[in-house]
Amino acid sequence: MAGGDADPNLARLLRRLSARGMDHLALLVGASAPPLRLTWRLADDALLIGGAAVEPTALFLRHDVFAHLADGRPETRTRASRWYQTVLSWALAHEAVAFPNRRYGARQATKPHVLHLAKRVGLAVPESLVTSEAGAFDPAEAAGWIAKPVNGGEHTRRLDQALADEAWRRRGAAEPTILQRRLVGPELRVYRVGGRWFAFALRSEALDYRTDPRVEVAAVPAPAALTAPLGRLMDGLGLDFGAADFKTCPETGRFLFLEVNSAPMFAGFDRVARGALCDAIGDWLAAAGPRGPVDSPSPGGAGAHAETA
């Protein structure tokens, strides 16, 4: 049972479960709840709550709006969203778990769920943790990891630098964060427009190339070893158009999948491609328009996130 500690609906349901003697675990966040310890370890798909492995058979989840209504702080609303997306991601990744409105939830955008799906269709992904225990990391090891929000909206940071920021450290103890092994350049962005693929190599000294005005971008052939599984992922998500980002594993030199964007920026890449991206989009729209609306995403898929920067 997951949601806000000030939600009267969830409180009533929890009381009813207790009265009926039904075994349950309350995962509550908010002003009065103590900080939660949660880790979803993607490598072996273990869910740890309070340091103990749990295997829920059903999940009832509510987005917490009451904490923000009480204090009006933007960070309270953001925290609630990140907890919601973390738990939603886990639920969507486990189809055997009873979860109300699964088909509706499957159309929502969650980064951790897309990572889980990418791994399942054959894309290599970096070692990843979705955790509210980022502050427990050994500082000596933290330099080899990066941190980014569960729901996007911020640039990627080195974990050791994030932990040195007192405000971030407090936040990291109160909400889930995506931690991943730090990768290196070059980076690769792969666009899909219908059945056509476009790839661009990016070289930058910055951890997040979006912060680097001197980033070098070059059009390159789209690797079939990536587009085949990426196509399966995007088909499952219902994405005829989108862009996926990859970065290089320092040990193997292999491109590892980071994320897919359903509304990516493309103007700068189109300039490098001399208009080919825009042409492909126009061609697809002209060809698809007379045939009517695009099919809805499959019930088992999940929406990808829209690019925010």
Question: How many Å apart are CA 62 and CA 58, to the nearest integer?
Answer: 14
* Contacts of 101 by beta carbon, 8 Å cutoff, 6+ apart: none
Residue 86 phi, psi dihedral angles, 5° rounding: -65, -50
The domain 184-291 is classified under which CATH number: 3.90.1580.10, 3.30.450.20, 2.170.140.10, 3.30.470.20?
A: 3.30.470.20
pTM above 0.85, yes or no: no
DSSP, collapsed to helix, strand or coil, labels residue 61 as strand
Any idea which fold 111-181 has?
A: Dna Ligase; domain 1 (3.30.1490)
Q: What is the pLDDT along the chain (309 residues), one digit of tens a residue?
A: 999 999 988 898 899 888 889 889 999 988 777 778 999 999 999 999 999 999 998 998 989 999 989 988 998 999 999 999 999 999 999 999 988 888 766 666 688 999 999 999 999 999 999 999 887 788 788 889 999 888 776 778 889 888 888 888 877 777 899 999 999 988 999 999 999 999 999 988 777 777 677 889 999 999 999 999 999 999 988 888 899 999 999 999 999 999 998 878 888 899 899 999 989 998 988 876 544 333 433 333 333 444 533
For the chain, the structural domain boundaries read 2-105, 111-181, 184-291
Buried b (16+ CB within 10 A) or exposed e, 100-123: eeeeebbbbbbbbbbbbbbbebeb
For helices 224-237 and 111-120, give the axis angle rounded to 10 degrees.
Answer: 130
